Structure 1
Amino acid sequence: MAKKSMIARDKKRLKLIKKFAAKRAALKATDPDALQKLPRNSSPTRRKFRDMSDGRPRGYMRRFGMSRIRFREEASKGNIPGVTKSSW
Protein backbone atom coordinates (compact mmCIF):
# COMPACT_ATOMS: atom_id res chain seq x y z
CA MET A 1 0.00 0.00 0.00
CA ALA A 2 1.43 3.33 -1.07
CA LYS A 3 1.37 6.33 1.22
CA LYS A 4 -1.83 8.33 0.98
CA SER A 5 0.15 11.50 0.32
CA MET A 6 1.80 9.97 -2.76
CA ILE A 7 -1.56 8.87 -4.16
CA ALA A 8 -3.01 12.34 -3.50
CA ARG A 9 0.00 14.00 -5.13
CA ASP A 10 -0.42 11.89 -8.23
CA LYS A 11 -4.13 12.74 -8.42
CA LYS A 12 -3.22 16.42 -8.18
CA ARG A 13 -0.74 16.01 -11.04
CA LEU A 14 -3.37 14.27 -13.16
CA LYS A 15 -5.77 17.16 -12.57
CA LEU A 16 -3.11 19.69 -13.65
CA ILE A 17 -2.29 17.64 -16.75
CA LYS A 18 -5.93 17.68 -17.83
CA LYS A 19 -6.30 21.38 -17.03
CA PHE A 20 -3.30 22.51 -19.10
CA ALA A 21 -3.47 19.93 -21.93
CA ALA A 22 -4.98 22.28 -24.51
CA LYS A 23 -2.73 25.17 -23.54
CA ARG A 24 0.37 22.94 -23.71
CA ALA A 25 -0.58 21.70 -27.17
CA ALA A 26 -1.10 25.24 -28.46
CA LEU A 27 2.18 26.50 -27.01
CA LYS A 28 4.06 23.48 -28.29
CA ALA A 29 2.89 24.25 -31.82
CA THR A 30 3.64 27.98 -31.72
CA ASP A 31 6.27 28.77 -29.06
CA PRO A 32 8.00 25.80 -27.36
CA ASP A 33 10.03 28.10 -25.08
CA ALA A 34 6.85 29.36 -23.40
CA LEU A 35 6.18 25.87 -22.00
CA GLN A 36 8.62 26.61 -19.19
CA LYS A 37 6.23 29.19 -17.74
CA LEU A 38 3.54 26.57 -17.15
CA PRO A 39 3.47 24.59 -13.89
CA ARG A 40 6.03 21.80 -13.83
CA ASN A 41 3.49 19.17 -12.82
CA SER A 42 1.31 19.95 -15.84
CA SER A 43 3.69 17.92 -18.02
CA PRO A 44 2.31 14.45 -18.82
CA THR A 45 5.72 12.83 -18.33
CA ARG A 46 5.67 13.67 -14.63
CA ARG A 47 2.70 11.40 -14.04
CA LYS A 48 3.40 8.10 -12.33
CA PHE A 49 1.12 5.23 -13.25
CA ARG A 50 -0.17 3.51 -10.13
CA ASP A 51 -2.29 0.52 -9.23
CA MET A 52 -5.98 1.48 -9.09
CA SER A 53 -6.67 -0.24 -5.79
CA ASP A 54 -3.65 0.26 -3.55
CA GLY A 55 -1.51 2.84 -5.38
CA ARG A 56 1.57 0.66 -5.85
CA PRO A 57 3.91 2.53 -8.25
CA ARG A 58 6.13 -0.32 -9.42
CA GLY A 59 5.31 -3.37 -11.49
CA TYR A 60 2.38 -1.59 -13.14
CA MET A 61 0.67 -3.31 -16.07
CA ARG A 62 -0.98 -0.69 -18.29
CA ARG A 63 -3.20 -3.15 -20.08
CA PHE A 64 -4.96 -4.09 -16.86
CA GLY A 65 -4.40 -0.93 -14.78
CA MET A 66 -2.94 -2.78 -11.81
CA SER A 67 0.33 -3.93 -10.35
CA ARG A 68 1.79 -7.37 -11.00
CA ILE A 69 0.96 -8.56 -7.49
CA ARG A 70 -2.66 -7.46 -7.64
CA PHE A 71 -2.94 -8.89 -11.18
CA ARG A 72 -1.76 -12.30 -9.99
CA GLU A 73 -4.25 -12.32 -7.11
CA GLU A 74 -7.18 -11.28 -9.30
CA ALA A 75 -6.25 -13.70 -12.10
CA SER A 76 -6.01 -16.59 -9.63
CA LYS A 77 -9.49 -15.77 -8.34
CA GLY A 78 -10.79 -15.62 -11.92
CA ASN A 79 -11.86 -11.98 -11.71
CA ILE A 80 -10.11 -10.90 -14.91
CA PRO A 81 -11.98 -12.08 -18.03
CA GLY A 82 -9.90 -13.84 -20.66
CA VAL A 83 -6.93 -14.48 -18.37
CA THR A 84 -6.05 -18.05 -17.43
CA LYS A 85 -3.09 -19.56 -15.67
CA SER A 86 -0.70 -21.10 -18.14
CA SER A 87 0.61 -24.62 -17.83
CA TRP A 88 2.75 -26.77 -20.09
Structure 2
Amino acid sequence: MARMGLIQRGGKIRELVNRYRAMREDLRAGMREASSLDDRWDIYKKLQYLPRNSAPTRLHRRCLSTGRPRANYRDFGLSRHVLREMAHACLSPGLVRSSR
Protein backbone atom coordinates (compact mmCIF):
# COMPACT_ATOMS: atom_id res chain seq x y z
CA MET A 1 0.00 0.00 0.00
CA ALA A 2 1.29 3.43 -0.90
CA ARG A 3 1.81 6.07 1.72
CA MET A 4 -1.33 8.14 2.22
CA GLY A 5 0.61 11.40 1.99
CA LEU A 6 1.70 10.60 -1.55
CA ILE A 7 -1.84 9.67 -2.58
CA GLN A 8 -3.21 12.89 -1.08
CA ARG A 9 -0.49 14.94 -2.80
CA GLY A 10 -1.55 13.40 -6.09
CA GLY A 11 -5.14 14.44 -5.35
CA LYS A 12 -4.07 18.03 -4.72
CA ILE A 13 -2.11 18.08 -7.98
CA ARG A 14 -5.17 16.73 -9.80
CA GLU A 15 -7.30 19.54 -8.34
CA LEU A 16 -4.74 22.17 -9.40
CA VAL A 17 -4.61 20.76 -12.92
CA ASN A 18 -8.40 20.93 -13.19
CA ARG A 19 -8.52 24.46 -11.76
CA TYR A 20 -5.95 25.92 -14.16
CA ARG A 21 -6.79 23.80 -17.23
CA ALA A 22 -8.92 26.43 -18.99
CA MET A 23 -6.43 29.23 -18.31
CA ARG A 24 -3.54 27.13 -19.58
CA GLU A 25 -5.44 26.19 -22.75
CA ASP A 26 -6.32 29.83 -23.44
CA LEU A 27 -2.71 30.91 -23.04
CA ARG A 28 -1.49 28.14 -25.33
CA ALA A 29 -4.07 29.07 -27.96
CA GLY A 30 -2.88 32.68 -27.71
CA MET A 31 0.69 31.49 -28.14
CA ARG A 32 -0.22 29.69 -31.37
CA GLU A 33 -2.08 32.72 -32.73
CA ALA A 34 0.49 35.35 -31.70
CA SER A 35 2.00 37.15 -34.64
CA SER A 36 5.09 38.73 -33.12
CA LEU A 37 7.82 37.27 -30.99
CA ASP A 38 7.23 39.84 -28.25
CA ASP A 39 3.61 38.74 -27.89
CA ARG A 40 4.69 35.13 -27.63
CA TRP A 41 7.24 36.06 -24.99
CA ASP A 42 4.61 37.87 -22.90
CA ILE A 43 2.27 34.87 -23.07
CA TYR A 44 5.15 32.58 -22.16
CA LYS A 45 5.83 34.66 -19.05
CA LYS A 46 2.17 34.38 -18.05
CA LEU A 47 2.41 30.62 -18.43
CA GLN A 48 5.47 30.60 -16.18
CA TYR A 49 3.56 32.40 -13.41
CA LEU A 50 1.05 29.54 -13.14
CA PRO A 51 1.75 27.06 -10.34
CA ARG A 52 4.19 24.35 -11.29
CA ASN A 53 1.92 21.57 -10.05
CA SER A 54 -0.89 22.77 -12.31
CA ALA A 55 0.85 21.29 -15.36
CA PRO A 56 -0.80 18.07 -16.54
CA THR A 57 2.56 16.34 -16.90
CA ARG A 58 2.81 16.33 -13.10
CA LEU A 59 -0.04 13.83 -12.85
CA HIS A 60 0.90 10.24 -12.16
CA ARG A 61 -1.29 7.17 -12.61
CA ARG A 62 -1.69 4.97 -9.55
CA CYS A 63 -3.25 1.59 -8.92
CA LEU A 64 -6.88 1.95 -7.86
CA SER A 65 -6.68 -0.70 -5.16
CA THR A 66 -3.16 -0.37 -3.72
CA GLY A 67 -1.95 3.05 -4.83
CA ARG A 68 1.20 1.63 -6.40
CA PRO A 69 2.73 4.22 -8.76
CA ARG A 70 4.57 1.84 -11.09
CA ALA A 71 3.64 -0.97 -13.46
CA ASN A 72 0.04 0.14 -14.01
CA TYR A 73 -2.14 -1.06 -16.84
CA ARG A 74 -4.23 1.77 -18.28
CA ASP A 75 -7.01 -0.52 -19.44
CA PHE A 76 -7.65 -1.87 -15.97
CA GLY A 77 -6.32 0.86 -13.69
CA LEU A 78 -4.54 -1.76 -11.64
CA SER A 79 -0.92 -2.63 -10.99
CA ARG A 80 0.58 -5.83 -12.27
CA HIS A 81 0.48 -7.49 -8.83
CA VAL A 82 -3.23 -6.96 -8.34
CA LEU A 83 -4.02 -7.84 -11.94
CA ARG A 84 -2.13 -11.12 -11.63
CA GLU A 85 -3.95 -12.02 -8.41
CA MET A 86 -7.29 -11.26 -10.07
CA ALA A 87 -6.37 -13.39 -13.09
CA HIS A 88 -5.47 -16.35 -10.88
CA ALA A 89 -8.74 -15.97 -8.97
CA CYS A 90 -10.69 -15.71 -12.29
CA LEU A 91 -12.12 -12.32 -11.27
CA SER A 92 -11.31 -10.45 -14.47
CA PRO A 93 -13.25 -11.70 -17.51
CA GLY A 94 -11.35 -12.11 -20.75
CA LEU A 95 -7.95 -12.13 -19.07
CA VAL A 96 -5.99 -15.32 -19.64
CA ARG A 97 -3.16 -16.16 -17.32
CA SER A 98 0.02 -17.49 -18.77
CA SER A 99 1.41 -20.72 -17.50
CA ARG A 100 4.36 -22.59 -18.93
- The alignment's TM-score, normalised by the length of structure 1, stands at 0.89
Unaligned runs of 5+ in 1: none
* Paired residue secondary structure (1:82): coil
For 2:76, what is the secondary structure of its paired residue?
A: coil
CA RMSD of aligned residues (A): 1.4
The SS at the match of 2:96 is coil
Report the TM-score, using the length of structure 2 for normalisation: 0.80
Equivalents in 2 of 1:26, 1:45: separation in Å?
17
SS of structure 2 residue aligned to 1:8: helix
Given the alignment of the two structures, is residue 81 of structure 1 paired with residue 88 of structure 2, yes or no?
Answer: no
Instruction: Say yes or no: does 1:71 pair with 2:60.
Output: no
* Per-residue Cα deviation, 1:1-39 (whole angstroms, up to 9, x for no partner): 110000000011111111111111001111343211111
Percent identity at matched positions? 43
> How many residue pairs get matched?
88
Residue 87 of structure 1 and its aligned partner are, at CA, apart by 4.9
One-letter amino acid of the structure 2 residue matched with residue 57 of structure 1: P
Q: Unaligned regions of 5+ residues in structure 2, if any?
A: 31-42
